[in-house]
Copies of this chain bind each other. A is one copy, B any other.
Amino acid sequence: MKPDALRGHLDALLLATLDGRQLHGYAIIEALQQGSGGALDLPTGTVYPALRRLERAGHVASDWSTVGGRKRRTYRLTSAGRKALHAERAAWREFTTVIGGVLGGGGTWAQT
């Protein structure tokens, strides 16, 4: 997957991963990898700054704890974050409709 294609969607992926659950950074990375069948193998240099941005935007909050002798930072959605996720999903639907509609002519692919 091209980095450029991912760009602009990463926030949505992170918000969606935190939907209904709290996870620490490493677990988010793993959840995205597994939730995508291995297609999303995001470097920490991508994810941690993005979580920083989401926290600064107020969409995510975090708490430090110590687990098994290691510091861990657990993230959760804020209510603003849940709203943002809702908006991101709507934007995704429009995005796929628009781009897919233009790209369309490619064979057996169907869009509903």
Tell me which residues across on chain B come within 8 A of A94, comparing CB atoms.
1, 39
Q: Is chain A's interface secondary structure helix, strand, loop, or mixed overall?
A: helix
- Please give me the residue from chain B that is nearest to A104 by CB atom: B16
Minimum CB–CB distance for A30 against chain B, Å: 13
Question: What's the number of copies of this chain in the assembled complex?
Answer: 2
**Interface flag for A69 (CB, 8 Å):** no
Number of A interface residues at 8 Å Cβ cutoff, please give it: 44
**Interface flag for A100 (CB, 8 Å):** yes
Tell me which residues across on chain B come within 8 A of A46, comparing CB atoms.
none
Using CB atoms and an 8 Å cutoff, list the residues of chain A in contact with chain B: 1-9, 12-13, 16-17, 19, 32, 35-37, 39-40, 86, 88-96, 98-107, 109-112
